[in-house]
């Protein structure tokens, strides 16, 4: 008997492009927070990462988060102690954290009216896309959904426009889910959408007189893969001609400053930049959308990520800042203040390459460098490494509110 894969074309595409459908497990792996106060720390950790003893999750000038492989906990501990390196364990068992972070909904979501999407759980791509389609039906005068292209595996990349169709409007682009495992990002972008649409008529004029463009899941293949196979997947799902390693880091693949430091030419690296700028359909689709719509007056761009709690602006290169950095900084500082006033967390504001780490070929730099968008930002949402990428679902509502405050603040300042 022939396998079921040939029956439905759509599924055939998905099955044949996945190397494995068995779930990747992280049992016994731990997340460690290591103080970065020693010149040799990063060098040591990079060596240990190369030897596959650990995976670096996040680093800045003060600390480094590393997921240590369960087989090498003692070895890494010894190496750190030899180096007088302080560390603490943030997550005792990564797999247990994964299993507990997104509990099954207690209500039957199919019973709900209109759409399954909630902000109490992390949802798959279908739930997100169904919600966009729902909005277009319910709010036809302001919401338009379009597909701006397909992913490597053939999934649509959907864009929602919210607009009062005032021809003088400037425009804001908000992009989520470029990194698959950062689930709080699509949750936040859809939350922003829900809040802007639910009471649109009563929104301030600086909100209504902007055309909003949202791509909640820029990397749909990676997002689905992170739900179904590997919770910690970051890249897209492109196969490589010279390597068995899969995937390009879509936030190293943009056509501005592509190929410089803070990106990798190694297909097995999590920051693999691809073979050339916009080699990947996911990023090329966005670039083409901008090229094909030259009349849109872009004024803002936001790329939504986790984690680390930062609001940053160009450039990705360390110690290089844009000439109008004070203006960009003011918006970020105001957003961070508004978040705290609303009872939220602290966000650090500054140029990306200084506040986070160096990176090149990123969407935010392209927005400024190639598209001349005045106010381009990236936000790294919660948390600061207690859970890292495995932010439990109970934090979705508080975190998505912080993202909403950020875009409202951006709109208020840049569209007044």
Query: Quick one: which of 148, 201, 199 has its CA closest to 175?
Result: 148
Query: Quick one: which of 142, 198, 134 has its CA closest to 166?
Result: 142
> Judged by CB, which is closer to Zn ion: 208, or 234?
234
Question: From CA 282, how far away is CA 301, in angstroms rounded?
Answer: 17
C-alpha to C-alpha distances, 80 to 75, 76, 85, 188, 387, nearest whole angstrom: 9, 6, 5, 37, 22
The CB-of-351 to Zn ion minimum distance in angstroms stands at 17
Task: Answer whether 237's CB lies under 8 Å from 17's CB.
Answer: yes
Positions annotated as catalytic residues are 380
Task: Answer whether 312's CB lies under 8 Å from 377's CB.
Answer: yes
Say how far residue 208 (Cα) sits from the centre of its chain. Answer: 26
> Judged by CB, which is closer to Zn ion: 169, or 185?
185
> Judged by CB, which is closer to Zn ion: 182, or 383?
182
The β-bridge partners of 348 are 310
The CB-of-80 to Zn ion minimum distance in angstroms stands at 26
Number of H helices and E strands in the chain, helices first, is 13, 12
> Judged by CB, which is closer to Zn ion: 176, or 207?
176
Query: Quick one: which of 252, 268, 230, 255 has its CA closest to 352?
Result: 252
The CB-of-118 to Zn ion minimum distance in angstroms stands at 23
Question: From CA 380, how far away is CA 336, in angstroms rounded?
Answer: 12
Residues lying near Zn ion in the complex (CB under 5 A) are found at 179, 182, 305
> Judged by CB, which is closer to Zn ion: 203, or 282?
282
The CB-of-288 to Zn ion minimum distance in angstroms stands at 22
The CB-of-128 to Zn ion minimum distance in angstroms stands at 17
Query: Could you write out the three-class secondary structure of 192-207?
Result: HHHHHHHCHHHCCHHH
């Amino acid at each position: 008997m022939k396998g079921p894969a040939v029956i439905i074309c759509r599924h055939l595409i998905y099955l044949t492009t996945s190397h494995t459908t068995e779930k990747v497990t992280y049992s016994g792996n731990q997340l460690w927070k290591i103080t970065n106060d020693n010149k040799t720390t990063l060098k040591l950790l990079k060596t240990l990462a190369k030897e596959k003893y650990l995976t670096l999750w996040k680093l800045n000038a003060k600390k480094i988060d590393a997921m240590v492989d369960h087989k090498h906990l003692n070895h890494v501990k010894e190496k750190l102690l030899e180096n007088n390196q302080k560390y603490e364990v943030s997550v005792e068992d990564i797999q247990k954290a994964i299993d507990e972070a997104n509990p099954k909904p207690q209500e039957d979501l199919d019973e709900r009216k209109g759409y399954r999407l909630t902000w109490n759980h992390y949802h798959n791509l279908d739930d997100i896309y169904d919600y966009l389609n729902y909005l277009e039906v319910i709010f036809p005068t302001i919401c338009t959904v379009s597909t701006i292209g397909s992913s490597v595996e053939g999934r649509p990349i959907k864009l929602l426009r919210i607009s009062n169709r005032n021809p003088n409007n400037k425009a804001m682009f908000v992009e989520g889910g470029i990194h698959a495992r950062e689930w709080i990002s699509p949750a936040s972008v859809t939350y922003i959408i829900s809040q802007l649409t639910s009471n649109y008529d009563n929104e301030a004029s600086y909100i209504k007189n902007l055309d909003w463009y949202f791509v909640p899941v820029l990397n749909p293949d990676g997002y689905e893969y992170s739900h179904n196979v590997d919770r910690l997947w970051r890249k897209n799902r492109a196969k490589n001609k010279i390597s068995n390693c899969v995937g390009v880091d879509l936030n190293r693949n943009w056509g501005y400053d592509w190929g410089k430091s803070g990106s990798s030419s190694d297909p097995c690296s999590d920051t693999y930049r691809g073979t050339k700028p916009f080699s990947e359909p996911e990023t090329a689709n966005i670039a083409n959308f901008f090229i094909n719509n030259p009349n849109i007056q872009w004024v803002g761009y936001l790329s939504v990520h986790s984690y680390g709690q930062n609001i940053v602006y160009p450039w990705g290169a360390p110690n290089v800042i844009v000439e109008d950095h004070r203006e960009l900084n003011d918006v970020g500082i105001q957003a961070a203040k508004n978040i705290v006033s609303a009872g939220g967390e602290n966000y650090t504001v500054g140029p990306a390459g200084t506040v986070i780490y160096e990176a090149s070929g990123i969407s935010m730099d392209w927005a400024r460098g190639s598209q001349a968008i005045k106010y381009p930002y990236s936000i790294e949402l919660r948390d600061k490494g207690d859970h890292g990428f495995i932010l439990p679902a109970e934090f979705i509502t508080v975190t998505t509110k912080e993202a909403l405050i950020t875009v409202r603040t951006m709109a208020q300042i840049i569209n007044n």
